[in-house]
Amino acid sequence: MATLTLRGLRKSFGTTEVIKGIDLDIAEREFVVFVGPSGCGKSTLLRMIAGLEPITAGELRIDDKRVNEVGPADRGLAMVFQSYALYPHMTVRQNMGFALRLARVPKAERDRKVNEASRILQLDPYLERRPKDLSGGQRQRVAIGRAIVRDPKVFLFDEPLSNLDAALRGQMRIELSRLHEELNATMIYVTHDQIEAMTMAEKIVVLRAGEIEQVGSPLELYHHPINLFVAGFIGSPRMNMLAVKVVATNPSGTEVELASGARLIVPSSGGARVGDAVTLGIRPEALRPDPNGVLQGEVRLVEQLGGLTLLHVAAEGIDDMTVQIEGSNGTRMHQSVRLSVDTSACHLFDSSGLALAHLTRHPLLAA
Amino acid sequence: MSSATQETPGAIKAPGGFLVMPSVIVLLAWMIVPLVMTVWFSFQYYNLLAPETAGFAGLDNYEFLVTDPDFWVSLRNTLVLLSSVLVITVVLGTLLAVLFDQPFPGRNIARVLAISPFFIMPTVAALIWKNLMMHPIYGVFGAVAQAFGFEPVDWFAQFPLASVIAIVSWEWLPFALLILLTAVQSLDHEQREAARMDGAGVIAQFVFITLPHLSRAIGVVVMIETIFLLTVFAEIFVTTSGGPGNATTNLAFLIYARALLQFDIGGASAGGVVAIVLANIVAFFLVRSIARRLEV
């Protein structure tokens, strides 16, 4: 169990800087997820922590000891790779015991640790098989087992579920959360899948182009995104973004005018002045069909997921406003609908993309 | 590699079998006719210098062959040449392959240079080595030795078999390097990184990750080289002509000497049959062990 401290971490490949100064604190036993679009540097950052990529500048501290110059094996970390990276010529048992064998751990103790890990991961029937005889999910578990036997201070996961099918991915998400609970270990997890980030993380780090955009709990990021990028990245289906104009500011919030002329009062304040062009963000679930709603539009597409239905509505000058409603709702394609807006769940972003602060914290985050 | 062996022999359908017959017939004729003729000649008295003694010889040719000390020497030379070249090319080839897999300035040029000897025909390679490199007076080695004040070595007189081994190894090292380099490059880099995280140093990575990954490719190199190295001829013919004495006579050269220097077709054919048997024994074990490894 360990704490990690990243101070001004930078990485350049030649003249291109891919990590541009990362400051981050990771507490003991925390499950941290690095999330961001492809090429944002999240995997590179993880590899720098692992010691597989040299650090160009800045300092990495594990348990308050500088480890920039320490080799990957001696940092006390274990990594699970995207491709699993199992050794194909070794059995599952040999794969899991390889690190211990290199460390010259006696065979009896090695076997004990491998058996313990295989018990946790339910790999007992497969110990004498080779990786090629295992399914994707089993290989994934072997890769995790290889990390567990080393008893590392920190587990690193590099997009470990991206090669699995959807059903298995959901199952492995639960297993990983359970494992975190059981092992009580610090875990850093890299993914581009915001669902994985939302469901597993205690702390999400949103990265873009080598810089941290926002750090916070999943709900913090969901309900109080700091800027347009985070708002658009976290949440599925995506937040709807509308160009609006500020018409009044008062103590109960900021009044904005939509393209159709409809007006909404959003309980946010900030530097916005009357006349400013701002962006209004509405989550799909903050919109509902309502005969008295302020928005008017035509349903272009209906996606019925069973429990939920997604309407894609052309309204307020945009073609694809997503509305999330109950699956029991019978709205059809090409129907005209009026929509009401839950303004307490709306967000305003100024012209530089920064969020205007909400007047109140979300009830789940208030404490 | 493995996909070619996936069709089981009995599964050929009648029309398909009919259509492949022409090529099978040609192949059979090409293979069976010379084979049968060799076996036939090996049981005949057939010496171009003694046309009056002809007819069935029974096992006389074979008896003459196995009682000839040259034959056993040539057999030994064949195996020494084969095994030395295999060891040199596989060991050096593996090390070079790992080296050329590392990024360094000028790597592409270095790769081309390292592989180019393979494009030089054996006679030319042997001539270059004989006259430009190993010649005690004109050769580079001799010049270097003299520059340091040593007596130049007359390689083909003092170490004839070792010299031939050096030449043949030089010719076959690029082949081993080429096959092994592509194999090294196909190694998943995440596997190597996983090994680094597991605490494997450079040597442990090589022993536990790279070598097992290369084992198939090494098997292929050994198999293909064996087929060609059993019949090395041009290099010996050009440099030493099997000498001094019989120091560099291998089975192929012995057969040549019997047939075309002593004009004893019967004796040469008996040698040829022995070579075929030898090649088949080696091939049997090799193919079996390698085929097992390819079943991954």
CATH number, span A237-365? 2.40.50.100
A73:B198 CB<8 A: yes
**Strand A154-158 with A186-191, pairing:** parallel
Only one residue has tokens 């492949």, namely B20
Assess A139–B contact: CB distance below 8 Å, yes or no. no
> Per-residue pLDDT tens for B40-56?
888 888 877 777 777 78
Task: Give the residue on B whose Cα is nearest the Cα of A131.
Answer: B296
Q: Which of A346, A209, A213 is nearest to A278 (CA)?
A: A346
Q: With pLDDT > 70 as the criterion, what percentage of chain B qualifies?
A: 94
What is the mean predicted confidence (pLDDT) over A198-215?
A: 92
B194:A79 CB<8 A: yes
What is the mean predicted confidence (pLDDT) over A300-317?
A: 90
Using a CB-CB cut-off of 8 Å, the residues of chain A touching B190 are 81-83, 85
Assess B190–A contact: CB distance below 8 Å, yes or no. yes
A102:B199 CB<8 A: yes
CATH number, span A4-232? 3.40.50.300
Assess B293–A contact: CB distance below 8 Å, yes or no. no
> Per-residue pLDDT tens for B126-160?
888 888 888 888 888 888 888 888 887 888 888 88
Using a CB-CB cut-off of 8 Å, the residues of chain B touching A83 are 188, 190
Assess A259–B contact: CB distance below 8 Å, yes or no. no
Q: Where are the domains of chain A?
A: 4-232, 237-365
Task: Report the mean per-residue pLDDT for chain A.
Answer: 89
> Per-residue pLDDT tens for A63-118?
888 988 888 888 888 999 988 889 988 999 999 999 888 888 899 999 998 998 88
> Per-residue pLDDT tens for B177-224?
999 999 998 888 888 888 888 888 888 888 998 998 898 888 888 888
CA gap A18, A7 in Å, rounded: 16
CA gap A6, A67 in Å, rounded: 11
Residue A77 pairs in a beta bridge with A154
Using a CB-CB cut-off of 8 Å, the residues of chain A touching B215 are 89
Assess A79–B contact: CB distance below 8 Å, yes or no. yes
Query: Please, which pLDDT band fits residue B293 given cuts at 50, 70 and 90?
Result: low
Secondary structure (3-state) at B201: coil
What is residue B63's predicted lDDT score, i.e. its pLDDT? 81
Task: Give the residue on B whose Cα is nearest the Cα of A82.
Answer: B190
pTM to 2 decimal places: 0.77
Q: With pLDDT > 90 as the criterion, what percentage of chain A qualifies?
A: 30
A87:B208 CB<8 A: yes
Assess B188–A contact: CB distance below 8 Å, yes or no. yes
B197:A72 CB<8 A: yes
HSE (CB half, 13 Å, CA atoms) of A121?
28
Give how far B211 is from chain A: nearest CA, Å.
10
What is residue A299's predicted lDDT score, i.e. its pLDDT? 92
Using a CB-CB cut-off of 8 Å, the residues of chain B touching A77 are 197
CA gap A293, A239 in Å, rounded: 19
> Per-residue pLDDT tens for B75-107?
889 889 999 999 999 999 999 999 988 888 888
Using a CB-CB cut-off of 8 Å, the residues of chain B touching A78 are 197
Contact in structure between A282 and A242 (CB atoms under 8 Å) = yes
Which of A81, A82, A103 is closest, CB to CB, to B199? A103
Give how far A139 is from chain B: nearest CA, Å.
14
Distance of CA B213 to the CA centre of its chain: 24
Using a CB-CB cut-off of 8 Å, the residues of chain B touching A81 are 190, 193-194
CA gap B174, B48 in Å, rounded: 42
> Residue B170 to residues B156, B174, B225, B241: CA-CA distances in angstroms?
16, 8, 13, 19
A87:B296 CB<8 A: no
**Is the pLDDT at A279 greater than 50, yes or no?**
yes
Scanning A25-64 for CB atoms below 8 A from B yields 50-52
Assess A154–B contact: CB distance below 8 Å, yes or no. no
B188:A83 CB<8 A: yes
Assess B296–A contact: CB distance below 8 Å, yes or no. yes
Domains, in order of start, for chain B:
62-294 (1.10.3720.10)
Could you tell me which residues come within 8 angstroms of residue B202 by beta carbon, excluding any fewer than 6 positions away?
none
Assess A13–B contact: CB distance below 8 Å, yes or no. no
Task: Report the mean per-residue pLDDT for chain B.
Answer: 84
Please report the sign of the dihedral spanned by the C-alpha atoms of residue A60, residue A61, residue A66, residue A67. negative
What is residue B190's predicted lDDT score, i.e. its pLDDT? 87
